[in-house]
Chains A and B, each alone.
Chain A
Amino acid sequence: MSLSAATRAEIETARERYPQARSAILPALWAVQHEVGHLSPDGMEEVARILHVTASEVEAVSTFYSMYFQKPHGRHEVIVCINVSCALRGADDIVAHLERSLGCESGSTTADGEFTWSSTVECLGACGGAPAMQLDHRFVENLTPESVDATLAAARASSPHATTGPGDAVGAEPAAASSGERRRGAPAGGRTRPRRRTKPEASDG
């Protein structure tokens, strides 16, 4: 596997930004995830090669943060905040509603491969619009079960998640990929990213 030239350039820029190349692992992983949609062992090995660190170090970092994905996921990713502000404004109901309407538990992908959703992240930083969730890196705020349904229906009808490559068939992913497995969503990165989105040229793989 090889990353696109743009992604490589982005990683190399990040490497120059820090005194130690190891510090650039986080932005490098973001770049890879934007291009591929998830972090495959190949992708992590490539990051390790560019940054002159070992692949094991890259994987250790990528599993520590819950918004890096080690497995291919659905066409849309839904992340629901259950931190204090959102919880006070009824995030639990949203989670229960999602579990019901999507028919799978947090951390897994729906049977049709449309959505991968997660509620195990920390604060999304959208307390002003609590309860909030993040759909494909865009905030959806002041949620009610009805607005959730409407948003998901709109997403289902929209064009595919641009970061998901054509080969990423995930419909068969078992629902067991939960508790002991990878967790999704992280605070810091998630907040800064929503503005940078969609790279149609990414499907050159």
Chain B
Amino acid sequence: MIKEIVQGMAFTLKQMLSRPLTVQYPEEQKPVPVRHRGRHILHRYDNGLERCIGCELCAANCPVGCIYVEAAENDPANPVSPGERYAIRYEINLMRCIYCGYCAEACPTEAITLGPQYELADYRREHTVVTKAELLESWPHFAQSRRPPSPRGAGADQTGREEIDPGVSPRLAWDLVDARRQSGQGPHAGDLGIPADVPTVTEPGTTRDNA
């Protein structure tokens, strides 16, 4: 009993005297392993052309469906990638990504790999959808820029697809009308959240009786 306590305390004392493992993050950062699977990188060839040909196999292979690609045809005089096809849009929803690396495995041109970057937190959900401009390897003449993610790409569930009329939900309004008609009453504008500046319609029933 005593022996075990002494052994334990001895180990503790030994650890107290050794250098601590803790680093002062974020001022101080440890290098990540070479095969770390962090945020994706889209690579280029040595001549600056993009490796990605927009084939969408990464998106097809993605188990969570977080990749969105839209392809376009290369202008032969001013190509973006070798061959006929390139990705005009490439977006990854990092909130959804599970960093499994299947996209890199599916890629026929080794255009996408998972990189060392792991600091991916942000204050806005929209910013967690990374666009092609952010994913691409930088290049001497390439300006890093942030394009807003499209409303219907990988960020569809982050930004909302379609602007909706302000005020009452149209579907709710409609069902209310139905309920009222079935109960023998006509629709009543006041119940439907119609703004006050819209003049109230005469209730149809009364007008009909007048006629």
Direct contact of A and B (CB under 8 A): no
Name A's B-contacting residues (CB within 8 A): none
Name B's A-contacting residues (CB within 8 A): none
